Amino acid sequence: MNALGAQSIQERGIEQVSDFISQLANVDVKENSPGVLPVITIRGIGLNDFSATNNPAAGVYVDEVYLSSLALLNADFFDVERIEALRGPQGTLYGRNSTAGAVNVISARPNLSESTGRLEAGYGSYGTSDIEAMVNVPATDELAIRLSGKYIDQNEGFYFDTSDNDDVGTRSVLLGRAQVLWRPGDGFEALFKIEGQKVRSEVGAGEFFGALPNGTATCPGSQQCTDFLGYSDPDNDPFRGDWSVNPAYNVDQLSATLRLEADLGGMTLTSITGYIDFDRSWGADTDGTPFRQTDFIETDDIQQISQEVRLSGDLTNGSWILGAFYSHDDVVGRYDGNLQDLFNTTLLTTWNQTTESAAVFGNVNYDLSDTVSLVGGLRYTWEQKDYAGANFDLVSQAPGSALTGAPFGTPPILIASNTDTLDDTNWSWKAGVNWTPMDDALVYASVSQGAKSGGFFSGVATNSGQLAPYQPEKLIAYEVGAKQRTSSYDIGASVFLYDYQDVQTFIRDESGGLPIQRLGNVEEATIYGADLTAAWRPEMVDGLTLSAAVGLLNTELGSFTSSGGVVPAGNELPDAPELSGTLGASYEIDVSDDWALKLQSEGRYSGEQFKDSLNDPLVATDSYWTFNARAILDNRDGWSVSVWGRNITDERYVTQGVNNLPLGYGFRVYGAPRTYGISLAKEF
């Protein structure tokens, strides 16, 4: 497990899941569209999809409530106690089962002992200002209230639209949270949380590349190449282009959580009830041009209810947990597609999915001796998905649709549909042994199985076969590792082997009139690698900490069938570089009796990686480094001033890409450019 506490989160400016994950080796995060749809990949296991109907392979939890849809992962952090990342299959301890791992975000809780508060304001590049506030008040000896909120305003976007002569990518984000903690006695506590977010922002766009030669350009795949309508983007600036979609990104979300914990005398009963109501709309210019070729406006309405109950206790030689989990979520959405300049028509894509998931699980730790313990866990999951989706050609332009050949005035034509139910049951389990040969040292070995249920692709399709459901995937993970912590150093190493079956991944489908990338299954894959971490606090230099992490990864997909025929075994999994790593340094020194200065820097390396299961070189990512740095000056009265910079070398690196050359174009999404800023904070 990797974890960051509240102080590190504040100092490093961790504001989203992507900021935290990007500091880990053998972990990748990307956005399918700039600023939208983050996808987390851990040790090569991820979900190469953009559908709001899909749940991630790496489970993301906020205050122990599982987030069921990819659409829910864009929230900004504020007033956080800690963030954790766990590698490997999960499911025998809490929550919902997953194959890749889990990310846990824990909000700072109300405090019964004292009144506290914090206020921070900052200003940075691209006209970005933000303010965050928190106040904690013990109302009585048994009741405490904590209120917190954050506002972000970025009035200049990273992107520039030459068609409108204006920047794109502004942000306006308002977040708020209220918590009440009631602890009437030593044996019971109740924590109620309600929070919301309101987003009125803009999304960026990918950098265009074309299919047809234009002068001496090498085609296809170059920005100098043109699409079928003669457009090219030769400026080689990934943040500058001509786009034709309203980039508005609007979100309204309300969520509530009730956590109850009771001491039953030798056992502890924990209940977590969660509710989420999420509405979103946003625009995507997936052709990256000023023409209306494949432009889409998406709307999503998601409602989620979940309930988890856990009973835990101690054995004479160990401990145990028993639990049950239930969730119900509804995802209703639509694409309004504009294909006027390419197919002389508009499309309507709709989906309505209801998912019910229930599970029982248990886990036991049993001490064989003072230094050796066994771990065993088992989970049984039932899940049902009811789906209804359809694609219509609206035949909206004279003289008629070039997609279906229907003349103008024809009623909407159903071109693809699927109404189906998936009913799935699966087992997850874990068996392991832990050995502690000395204090603050651990050697472990484990084998575990994780599973992820099947589902439905909810994107644009031009025949019903493209909407066929994808099947469940299963992973067996073997892992051996060791770690040790002393006053001067921390070290850790693990090696792992994954046997991966029915891999859910993007495949290119050109079976219809409109080529698409959709989720399908590859029969098998093999993954092996290692995680290596080290931190050193040299005694001869007080206040200095040096750290490093290395991720080694080898992935191999089995053979599978795509629209172009059989793809032989040997392709790499998407978003799985063979080598990744981080370097960090932190130095703290007292500059006076009241003031201390902390200097921090970190670098992240990611090796070459593909973005789809076809290993298409046109949308692959070259190796790259990014560097962040900050200086923090604080005093004993609670004041602090921070100066920071992210991606300070302004590295241009691809995070996602789509090859639609059969339609004349493709696009690449790039990571954020260099940003910098200053902030002032006061704790009281």
**Model confidence pLDDT, tens digit, residues 520-568:** 888 999 999 999 999 999 999 999 999 999 999 999 999 987 777 788 9
Rounded-to-integer distance, Cα 634 and Cα 278, Å: 39
Tokens encoding 309? 């109950």
CB 544 within 8 A of CB 535: no
pLDDT tens for 28-58 read: 888 777 777 778 899 999 877 778 888 888 8
Q: Give the per-residue pLDDT at 217.
A: 64
Tokens encoding 406? 């229907």
Alpha-carbon torsion (84, 90, 93, 95), positive or negative: positive
Rounded-to-integer distance, Cα 128 and Cα 349, Å: 36
CB 492 within 8 A of CB 483: yes
Beta-carbon-side half-sphere exposure of residue 28 (alpha carbons within 13 Å):
35
pLDDT tens for 359-396 read: 999 999 999 999 999 999 999 999 999 999 999 999 99
Res. 513 pLDDT band, cuts 50 70 90: low
Res. 182 pLDDT band, cuts 50 70 90: very high
CB 147 within 8 A of CB 109: no
Q: What is the DSSP string of 498-509?
A: EEEEEEEEEEEE
CB 629 within 8 A of CB 645: yes
Rounded-to-integer distance, Cα 6 and Cα 79, Å: 8
CB 636 within 8 A of CB 681: no
Alpha-carbon torsion (572, 294, 73, 51), positive or negative: negative
Q: Give the per-residue pLDDT at 272.
A: 98
312 closest CA partner among 260, 356, 264: 264
pLDDT tens for 264-311 read: 998 999 999 999 999 999 998 989 999 999 999 999 999 999 999 999
Beta-carbon-side half-sphere exposure of residue 88 (alpha carbons within 13 Å):
27
Q: What is the DSSP string of 583-609?
A: EEEEEEEESSSSEEEEEEEEEEEE--B
Give the mean pLDDT of the chain.
92
Q: Give the per-residue pLDDT at 512.
A: 66
Q: What angle do CA 397, 403, 406 make, to 5 degrees?
A: 60
Res. 73 pLDDT band, cuts 50 70 90: confident
Beta-carbon-side half-sphere exposure of residue 73 (alpha carbons within 13 Å):
32
Q: Give the per-residue pLDDT at 1.
A: 74
Q: What is the DSSP string of 4-44?
A: EEHHHHHHHT--SHHHHHTTSTTEEEEEEETTEEEEEEETT
Rounded-to-integer distance, Cα 72 and Cα 74, Å: 6
Rounded-to-integer distance, Cα 534 and Cα 546, Å: 8
For residue 20, the 8-state DSSP code is H
3-state secondary structure of 523: strand
Q: Give the per-residue pLDDT at 483.
A: 96
- Find all residues with CB under 8 Å of 227, minimum gap 6, and list them: 208, 210, 211, 212, 287, 289, 291, 293, 663, 664, 665
Rounded-to-integer distance, Cα 51 and Cα 72, Å: 11
Specify the range with the lowest mean pLDDT, choosing from 181-190, 413-422, 508-517. 508-517
Residue spans per domain, the chain:
2-683
Q: How much is the CA Rg of the chain, to the nearest whole Å?
A: 26
Pairing of strands 595-606, 560-562: unpaired
Count of C-beta atoms within a 10 Å radius of residue 17: 23
> Is residue 255 within a helix (H) or strand (E), and if so which, with residue range?
strand 248-263
Q: Is residue 215 predicted with pLDDT exceeding 80?
A: no
Rounded-to-integer distance, Cα 288 and Cα 235, Å: 14
Specify the range with the lowest mean pLDDT, choosing from 46-60, 459-473, 505-519. 505-519
666 compared with 12, residue with greater pLDDT: 666
CB 150 within 8 A of CB 175: yes
Q: Does domain 2-683 have CATH number 3.30.420.40?
A: no
Place of tokens 């109740």: 190
Specify the range with the lowest mean pLDDT, choosing from 34-43, 115-124, 581-590, 671-680. 34-43
For residue 9, the 8-state DSSP code is H
Q: End-to-end distance of the chain based on CA atoms, in angstroms?
A: 32
Q: Give the per-residue pLDDT at 468.
A: 85
Q: Give the per-residue pLDDT at 52.
A: 85
Q: How many residues does the chain have?
A: 684
pLDDT tens for 278-287 read: 999 999 898 9
Which whole number is the average pLDDT over 482-489?
94
Tokens encoding 208? 């265009």
Which whole number is the average pLDDT over 109-119?
96
Rounded-to-integer distance, Cα 206 and Cα 351, Å: 25
Instruction: For residue 176, count CB atoms less than 10 angstroms from its CB and return exposed for 0-12, middle for 13-18, buried for 19 or more.
Output: middle
Q: Give the per-residue pLDDT at 506.
A: 74
Res. 25 pLDDT band, cuts 50 70 90: confident
Count of C-beta atoms within a 10 Å radius of residue 671: 22
